[in-house]
Structure 1
């Protein structure tokens, strides 16, 4: 009798094993938690890059059914460009939209993409950035703790000054031109025979007004929104640089996500590019109209050959052999 009871209990215990095993598997199944991430931009709300960042955030939220939320912080709320990039590197912030100029301090190879007179026009520029070369440079920052997601538009930069229209290199000779604190940009101004003067952006208006500097260089929207056009009436379109900007992610934080989520975020960033480019084109158009209406003297430098030729020593000094090979590849893109 005891033997029969023992056998029954044993059989019953075997029957219950799958039940408990299934229960255990259900308890161990990963629960997908909601994730909130932060994106920093130093431009004000409504600026084209912020419009693009918000579209990126919208697409991520939509495609994850609200599981991943990206909060966009414009107007440098999370810090200036350099401090935000530093925070990105150790995971204090998840994303930023930045010019490659400050990012090149951490990833020097990026300087190749902002060499003066490198791109023939906007079509050439985007064919480079959205092709194999651009993808290489997006990935090149991984070793420095970043993940490049997508390029965004920031237009082209030209010269403006308080003295006269610029048509030739000789017209720039001796002029004091404000530049960012960058050896590359200072070298460009020197190569054109002008005097580079590094100044904080916020000090440029008064420096133009008081004659501390004769001119500066920037894109249409910056020329308009900074009100520099009020004191520097001559804008000479030479489009000497097109400095790429990126939405960049923290590699530390992205590595915490699943492979699928990382791919989804990358795709959303790429899909947001068209919205930012369209917003930039409209902003550029209204900015140009504003300064023209204010009576500024606008001229176009149709032949850049003389200006580009003056850059030969700069290319030699700033780039190593591999950098010069990349330049030739960029110039060869149709």
Structure 2
């Protein structure tokens, strides 16, 4: 069942929750009403300090309350359920019900997701938030991998602004990136982006970046301040330069098989909660970013905001135009972003 259709029945469904019979499920625990409780597993590849962990915990608490104890969520941080490739497969077959995932991963299932992953796409976090909250406009995209992968996208959240950091020197112009080996995510668009900006792209799992920086296999990487500091990369790559080249979302995914097992009323209850979870994740990320900057500064990291952003943006513009113009779906998503950028310009 499409989630957009569930929204239409949500108000009626939520009024009848207290009268509904206990839903089916794995019987992982006891509900408030004394029946069996289904506890969804939410996989997460970062630490308990991350705001998406807290948002996942809140999702479980709110879902348990809204469904009279029939459903809850347990968050498994630090890749306890495996790497993202393994978790995606388990999500697809229904043995894991939920996960937070980085946006580039979804390009492998539907390449149209690339539009929101292109460099210098969003002018502000407010513009990105407006797009990711537009559930009507994104309905088709968010349901587009259900048939092939049995995965539904529930929402997208802000995952910070990504910048370049390295162990050599501050980055001010594209010339400063020449010859530097920079880690990027394992995505064709990310490789093309960093190479257009002037560096040597080195796709790599994030868990391997610290040792690669420490041993000189890498000169640097690109990421937001939170991940850079939380994974201790700030210890071995102290020059953080505000190229502001990406504002990637993260997505909350759900196994379509698990979703379809929920009653219409419980699906409606889940959907009612999602905007709150989106806001919790977004607000928490902004706060966590400030704390990350403070900690990195205390251990000697150097921040550089004297960057020729216009020069970098010019270099990657052909990549953006080529990708956006590939089909009408991408053109429509791009226009959605442009409208949001006009309404929420950079401050």
Match of 2:248 in 1: 243
The one-character-per-residue Cα deviations of 1:169-193 (angstroms, maximum 9, x if unpaired) are: 2221222111122111110011112
CA distance in structure 2 between the aligned counterparts of 1:305 and 1:215, rounded to whole angstroms: 21
Match of 1:5 in 2: none
Q: Does the alignment pair 1:102 with 2:92?
A: no
Q: Does the alignment pair 1:321 with 2:324?
A: no
1:116 to partner: Cα distance: 0.9
Q: Given the alignment, which residue of 135, 141, 145 partners 1:141?
A: 145
CA distance in structure 1 between the aligned counterparts of 2:128 and 2:54, rounded to whole angstroms: 21
Name the TM-score, length of structure 1 as normaliser: 0.84
1:264 to partner: Cα distance: 0.9
CA distance in structure 2 between the aligned counterparts of 1:200 and 1:38, rounded to whole angstroms: 23
- Are the aligned partners of 1:149 and 1:270 in contact in 2 as well (CA < 8 Å)? no
- Are the aligned partners of 1:85 and 1:103 in contact in 2 as well (CA < 8 Å)? no
Match of 1:71 in 2: 74
Report which stretch shifted further, 270-279 or 134-143.
134-143
In the TM superposition, 1:189-208 aligns within 5 A as 189-208=194-213
Structure 1: tracts of 5 or more residues without a match: 1-29
CA distance in structure 2 between the aligned counterparts of 1:301 and 1:115, rounded to whole angstroms: 23
Q: Does the alignment pair 1:151 with 2:141?
A: no
Q: Residue 303 of structure 2: SS of its match in structure 1?
A: strand
1:284 to partner: Cα distance: 1.0
CA distance in structure 1 between the aligned counterparts of 2:84 and 2:282, rounded to whole angstroms: 21
For these two proteins, the number of residue pairs brought into alignment is 306
In the TM superposition, 1:6-155 aligns within 5 A as 31-33=21-23, 34-36=36-38, 37-131=40-134, 132-144=136-148, 145-155=150-160
Q: Residue 310 of structure 1: SS of its match in structure 2?
A: helix
- Are the aligned partners of 2:120 and 2:244 in contact in 1 as well (CA < 8 Å)? yes
CA RMSD of aligned residues (A): 2.1
Q: Given the alignment, which residue of 303, 326, 339 partners 1:332?
A: 339
CA distance in structure 2 between the aligned counterparts of 1:94 and 1:303, rounded to whole angstroms: 43
The one-character-per-residue Cα deviations of 1:70-120 (angstroms, maximum 9, x if unpaired) are: 222222222211211111112222211211222322232211111111011
Match of 2:258 in 1: 253
The structure number with the bigger radius of gyration is 1
The one-character-per-residue Cα deviations of 1:152-203 (angstroms, maximum 9, x if unpaired) are: 3311110001222111222212221111221111100111121111233233
1:125 to partner: Cα distance: 1.1
In the TM superposition, 1:152-301 aligns within 5 A as 152-301=157-306
1:321 to partner: Cα distance: 2.9
